[in-house]
Amino acid sequence: MGRAFVFGDNVDTDQIVPAQHITSDDPEELAEHCFETLDDSFNDRFDDGDVVVAGTNFGSGSSREHAPIAIAGAGASAVVAESFSRIFYRNAINIGLPVFEIPAITDLVEAGDALSVDPAAGEVRNATTGETFSAESFPEFIQEILDAGGLVEYGQQLDSSD
């Protein structure tokens, strides 16, 4: 269970982690700069298990993996948005960060609401309001990538099973 941190529409990758800070791919280092241009206290307030909630077109901009790495490094249990940039969505899955598309989620969740996520069921539960929201569940192979912790870890599991 984590708190909701709510952002609006068109949050691009430079707003998630500014370009001048992508000299590293270390999750903890990137997390130090996560959302700093939108909320300069984000890093001080965001805790492991908290959830990023956003409007449409989340993660637009560049195709670099640094944006979802920064969010995962900050300890997010998931990102829930009304829609995602295609490249951000796939990069998030590749690094093991669950992402859920739920229409009108920014109208249904307020900053600070207590949320729990169930990637296998495709559900987000708002414990503050008692509502449960459903996203499309992931296809089996994507769920396996998420369960493994990302694409690299998934590939390592496949190699070790040979």
Report the CATH number that the domain containing residue 52 is assigned in CATH.
3.20.19.10
Strands 51-54, 2-6: pairing kind: parallel
- pTM of the full structure: 0.94
6 bridge partner residues: 53
Write the pLDDT tens digit of every residue in 12-27: 999 999 999 998 889 9
Write the pLDDT tens digit of every residue in 33-60: 999 999 999 999 999 999 999 999 999 9
Q: Write the CB contacts of 87 (distance below 8 Å, at least 6 apart in sequence).
A: 59, 63
Number of domains, the chain: 1
7-35 as b/e: b if 16+ CB within 10 A: beeebebbbbbbeebbeeeebebbbebbb
Q: Supply the pLDDT for residue 41.
A: 95
Percent of the chain with pLDDT over 70: 99
Write the pLDDT tens digit of every residue in 54-85: 999 999 998 889 999 999 999 999 999 999 99
- For residue 137, the 8-state DSSP code is P
Q: Supply the pLDDT for residue 162.
A: 65
Q: Measuring CA to CA, which residue among 95, 105, 139, 101 is closest to residue 120?
A: 139
Residue 44's domain comprises 2-160
Rg (CA), the chain: 15
Quick one: CA torsion of 135, 152, 61, 9, rounded to 10 degrees? 20
